[in-house]
Amino acid sequence: MRKVFQAELQHVGEELIQIATLVKEALERASNAFLETDIQEAEEVISNDARIDFMQNELDERSIDILALQGPVASDLRMIVGALRMSSSLERMGDLARHVAQVARMRYPAPVLPDSITPIFTEIIELDKKIIDSVIALLETRELSHAQDIAKHKVRINELHVEVFNRMAADDWDHPAQTTVDVTLASRYLERFGDHGVSVARKVTYLVTGDWNAVPQSL
């Protein structure tokens, strides 16, 4: 019985990694759509998002079955409840990548970004990519240095997010309101993407240490 249970827990962990890997792919494609005006990539992200949603549902159902059939306690119980939470965060990260792709599709064939602000978004997206890479590494290894990396990347994203808003508030920002709307939304989506990465990092840190007090303030 215990052996079956451990195999099931492991399966849940593997499914989380699979979902995170789909999110990574979605972000990479959304990035191409958004920064390179690639409509094909935008369409792929948008249509593939249903797969992430489906996998999340499956994982949730499996987790609830484990709760019902195995009645886990202590750290096993926390692990299952944590998986339910983490799957929500990952699903949401997939949605946010889709939203970025949708902005790109809406403006196609025009680029979303004015040239002046592209380098900031390039850096934000690179950081979000590092975050999802670290999420995958954290889920695979449970090595808490990855959680710290995620927190560090998010701090930098926050600075860049503020910088985007400063640029738009500056006197020399003379772009149409439509561009301001798009830039505002895209910056918000990419900033939230990082937040959900931090949520996963917090959750894993808690599961590994078993103590909320061991979770750094930065997470």
Which uninterrupted H or E stretch holds 167? helix 145-169
Of 152 and 175, the one with the shorter C-beta distance to a second copy is: 175
**Interface contacts to a second copy, rule CB under 8 A:** 64, 67-68, 71, 73-74, 77-78, 81, 84-85, 88, 165, 168-169, 173, 175, 177-178, 180-181, 184-185, 188
We find the least distance from the C-beta atom of residue 177 to a second copy, in angstroms, to be: 5
Of 40 and 169, the one with the shorter C-beta distance to a second copy is: 169
We find the least distance from the C-beta atom of residue 84 to a second copy, in angstroms, to be: 7
Of 31 and 89, the one with the shorter C-beta distance to a second copy is: 89
Of the candidates 66, 216, 200, 84, the residue with the CA atom closest to the CA atom of residue 142:
200
We find the least distance from the C-beta atom of residue 185 to a second copy, in angstroms, to be: 6
We find the least distance from the C-beta atom of residue 3 to a second copy, in angstroms, to be: 20
Residues whose CB falls within 8 Å of the CB of residue 149, separated by 6 or more in sequence, listed in order: 130, 134
One DSSP character per residue, 93-116 reads HHHHHHHHHHHHHHHTTS-SS-GG
Q: What is the Cα–Cα distance from 116 to 114, expressed in whole angstroms?
A: 5
Contact yes or no for 23/93 (Cβ under 8 A): yes
Of 141 and 184, the one with the shorter C-beta distance to a second copy is: 184
